[in-house]
Amino acid sequence: MIELRTPAEIEAMKPAGEFVASTLTALHQRATVGMNLLELDKIAHRLIRERGAESCYLDYAPSFGSGPFGYVLCTSVNDAVLHGKPHSYSLQDGDLLTLDFAASVDGWVADSAISFVVGTPDPRDLALIDATERALAAAIEVAVVGNKTGDLSHAIGSVAADAGLSVNLEFGGHGVGRTMHGDPHVANDGRQGRGYPLREGLVIAIEPWFMQSTDKLVTAADGWTLKSADGSRTAHSEHTIAITADGPIVLTQRAE
């Protein structure tokens, strides 16, 4: 079911967005060469506890995962792109890391993801990250009342095509509210003018994720982490936004 939020409810969602954004900023700063992924998860867990928030991941057990996730942060490294389950791995110079984080504050959820290179960057990795960020910005630009979800999908897919990237359609954006995943689905490619109408009060997570040289995924042995089928690098950018009469509000906007 697709739910529309009142202006007061969107205002009430802002603290969740601010907390998710500030947590990702803090984790980005801590994710240096030698940092263990499990330590990053512990930091996120501490920040959740200090804020009085709730994790959306800890006991999450959807059909596409293998049992409860068990952690509060998704950590996807290099060829891993989605649902990266934290494990004992110390970050190496040049690793491409994606952090995906969702939390609930006062009963409202926000969801966001960032990708960045730890240590010395490879220009190809930076170009891939830039493509996801440009795709996210392009989708947000057309996230206005009167357009449709297909317009968001087309904006994302057009950036991918211009960058020479193919797009996987198995996972994409989604509604956000009292729970982390809801309707409507927002694919990362599609046709303009198709799909669900963007109405005032709709809150969605838009999340372009690309792989350098494939559109096929494989699941790691942990039953959760999704990787590129050919081992190529991956990147993922995500924001939770609210559709309003005055344009989109990025609830998970991070400080520069």
- Mark the binding-site residues for substrate, compressed into ranges: 83, 181
Distances (CA, A) of 76 to 8, 22, 234: 35, 19, 9
CB atoms within 10 A of CB 238: 24
61/81 Cα distance (integer angstroms) = 19
- Mark the binding-site residues, compressed into ranges: 83, 100, 111, 174, 181, 207, 238
Q: Are 157 and 185 contacting, i.e. CB atoms less than 8 angstroms apart?
A: no
Residue 92 in tokens: 């190496």
6/31 Cα distance (integer angstroms) = 37
Q: How far does the chain reach from its first CA to its final CA, in angstroms?
A: 35
63/83 Cα distance (integer angstroms) = 13
Chain Cα centroid distance, residue 178? 17
Strands of the chain, DSSP E: 54-55, 74-77, 80-82, 96-105, 108-117, 173-175, 182-186, 203-206, 209-211, 217-219, 226-228, 234-236, 239-244, 247-250
- Mark the binding-site residues for a divalent metal cation, compressed into ranges: 100, 111, 174, 207, 238
